[in-house]
Structure 1
Amino acid sequence: MSGSWRAGLLAEGVSITVTAKAYRLLRAILMTATEDDKMLSRNPCWIKGADNERTPERPILTLAQVFELADRMADRRFKAMILLTTFASLRWGEVIALRRKDLDLTARTVRVREQLLELEGGEMRLCPPKSRAGKRTISIPSAIIPALADHLKRFVDEAEDSFVFLGKRGAFLRGGNFRREAKWAEALKEMGLTGLHFHDLRHTGNTLAAQSGASLADLKARMGHDSDRAALIYQHATRDADQKIADALSARVKAERKKARKKDH
């Protein structure tokens, strides 16, 4: 029970940290039900390490993999969704809440004004973004504009308030419906990818933005974060990668010089 519940949270894009906190709370509640109230014979929360908030290294797609994944979506409505989520660093709730009026393909921007959350009991509710910084306007790479224009033309009603990404029957998208209709697992298997969550598209987008040399302030604005912490993670990762490149170049220079000295002797 606890295993499938935890897996469901992670699959929906809930962070490791939040999932771990929720797991600890559930385990404490069930421990009371088991030891104090004798309502259960044993605590079903038994997953080793599930309460650990240490975030494992998440997969990062290459540019080629992002476009391949988009092309492999079983339903063509989701090609533009994959591209926009990645290259605008959007959260799941943000991308499924987008309206036609939020996309300006001439200015090449997408505006995040709200998010769509699935509440307990299954109700879908439009809410403000996670923080004040969550309301933002993000520039879109020109390379994905044709896919977005095609999507708007083929799948989105002309009304400015029309939602950009909906399920097959015109209802709000839910994580399970998306994975089923897009055949997400099948696409990942065909590409030889394992353990990729939808949230990792945002992670990939954040990484690409950091690799472009964006400043801390620019990264925070693009990601929709109030604090420096998350943006610094991507900057540090980029600096680490850059240092490895520099070390590799240094090793190559040393090898070439050593080879040259041997020739001289």
Structure 2
Amino acid sequence: MAAKRRHFGRVRKLPSGRWQARYPGPDGDLRPADTTFERKRDAELWLSAKESEIARGDWLDPSAGKVTLHDYGNSWIRERPKLRPKTVVLYEGLHRLHITPALGKLNLADITTPRLRKWRRDLLDAGVGPVTVAKAYRLLRSMLNTAVSDRLISRNPCQIDGAGVEKSPERPIATVAQVLTIVDAVPERYRLLVLLACFNSLRWGELAALARRHVDTTDGIVTVERSVVELPTGELVFGPPKSAASVRAVTIPLVFIPDAVWHLAEFTGSRPDSLLFVGPKDGPLRRSNFQEHWRTAIEKAGVPGLHFHDLRHTGNTWAAETGATLRDLMDRMGHSTTRAALIYLHKTAGRDRKIADALGKLVEDARGTEPEGTDGHANPEGHAGGTPTE
């Protein structure tokens, strides 16, 4: 009696004695299993599983994942036209410097979680900063999520707990005296730049994109509506700021209005679109024109590790200490979410003492008494309301 012919796929015995399974994919092409089997029954079970996979719509073309991560990553970045120029520069750098060297030659289908765990560990051991490693991991995870959606791989191998979480080191906070020392130490054309970075919480790209029309010295307002990014080629690209929330109007402290008026008169062209800050040759502001002056100034101020972006960090911290609300901080910083603003509120532990003292004052006013004890606080032997403790 002839052997019953299978309705799906074929099984045959190889000269080696092992069994090979082949099946027709949804496209009609006959494909072999990626392994051979010791027993015929095992090959038949594998075919049955593959048939069910196709019926469920879960089948993936085994050859689809044979594109290298290097090529796929480059295409992934190129195919996202809505990325801001600064983000494109960041992604290209992370892919070129930290992803491709170790993983770029691998096919997508060959990338596994253990490989990624070793890749991440090797980066950290090589001295790459934890923040940079986290950014690279998040980028890779996004790329491979798209590969899953493209049905090139069945599962994203980026499954390392906490690998994409940035744990930035605590940045220094300057004192008012130190910031004013920096202001005095930089060339005059950059003094307002430092003041607005700190006291108006502006980013470098926002400052470099400001024009005369963005500064209202009558009402003391700076309007942020664009930003500029310097590409690795040296090209300056003007565009919208970091997010929709970054389009904002920020009030200049009255004490610095004369500084703004003087700067406009001395260093800014007369046209509304004239850049507020320019270099020594009246060209657009570039970090390369400023860095040497910055290094000299922070040395004089006694804060050699201070970055320019730390001025914004410093100003945000001071704003929180003045009693700014969460909404106030979000508006001033140009953030759409509460996460960053909450960090500054949490940093100002001194505010809790002010709140406690203010609450205590309400009790004192209601009781019509002064707080007991020589240290200005309530009697430690009783509650603020006068009831003895148990």
Q: Which bracket does the TM-score occupy, shorter chain normalised? A: 0.7 to 0.9
Deviations 1:204-262 (A, max 9, x none): 11111111111111111111001111111111112x23347789xxxx9399x89xxxx
Contact (CA 8 Å) 1:84, 1:144: kept in 2 or not?
no
Aligned partner letter, 2:169: P
The answer as to 2:304 corresponding to 1:198 is no
- Matching residue of 1:210: 320
- Matching residue of 2:347: 237
Aligned partner letter, 2:306: L
The answer as to 2:363 corresponding to 1:253 is no
The answer as to 2:127 corresponding to 1:47 is yes
Query: Secondary structure at 2:375's aligned position in 1?
Result: helix
> Greater relative contact order (Cα 8 A, min sep 6): structure 1 or 2?
1
In 1, Cα distance between equivalents of 2:91 and 2:338:
22
In 2, Cα distance between equivalents of 1:136 and 1:49:
32
The answer as to 2:265 corresponding to 1:185 is no
- Residue 22 of structure 1, CA deviation: 6.2
Query: Secondary structure at 2:278's aligned position in 1?
Result: coil
- Residue 25 of structure 1, CA deviation: 7.2
In 1, Cα distance between equivalents of 2:300 and 2:336:
38
- Which protein has the larger Cα radius of gyration, Structure 1 or Structure 2? 2
Structure 1 vs Structure 2 CA RMSD = 3.4
In 1, Cα distance between equivalents of 2:267 and 2:99:
46
Contact (CA 8 Å) 1:113, 1:128: kept in 2 or not?
yes
Deviations 1:5-43 (A, max 9, x none): xxxxxxxxx9xxx9899658732211136899xxxxxx8
Matches within 5 A, 1:35-74: 46-47=126-127, 49-50=129-130, 51=133, 53-73=166-186
Query: Secondary structure at 1:231's aligned position in 2?
Result: helix
In 2, Cα distance between equivalents of 1:224 and 1:44:
33
Structure 1 residues 172 and 34: alpha-carbon distance in aligned structure 2, compared to 1, 3 A threshold:
same
Unaligned runs of 5+ in 2: 1-85, 108-121, 135-165, 357-373, 381-390
- Matching residue of 2:238: 126
- Residue 167 of structure 1, CA deviation: 1.0
Matches within 5 A, 1:136-175: 136-175=248-287
Query: Secondary structure at 2:103's aligned position in 1?
Result: helix
In 2, Cα distance between equivalents of 1:34 and 1:193:
44
In 2, Cα distance between equivalents of 1:69 and 1:234:
23
Structure 1 residues 19 and 115: alpha-carbon distance in aligned structure 2, compared to 1, 3 A threshold:
closer
Query: Secondary structure at 2:237's aligned position in 1?
Result: strand
- Matching residue of 2:338: 228
Aligned partner letter, 2:99: A
Structure 1 residues 204 and 71: alpha-carbon distance in aligned structure 2, compared to 1, 3 A threshold:
same
- Matching residue of 1:30: 101
Aligned partner letter, 2:253: P
Question: Alignment identity in percent?
Answer: 40
- Residue 60 of structure 1, CA deviation: 1.1
Structure 1 residues 29 and 244: alpha-carbon distance in aligned structure 2, compared to 1, 3 A threshold:
farther
The answer as to 2:216 corresponding to 1:104 is yes
Moved more, 125-134 or 113-122: 113-122
- Matching residue of 1:117: 229
In 2, Cα distance between equivalents of 1:253 and 1:107:
44
In 1, Cα distance between equivalents of 2:272 and 2:173:
34
- Matching residue of 1:9: none
Unaligned runs of 5+ in 1: 1-13, 37-42, 259-265
Query: Secondary structure at 1:154's aligned position in 2?
Result: helix
Aligned partner letter, 1:235: L
Count, aligned residues: 232
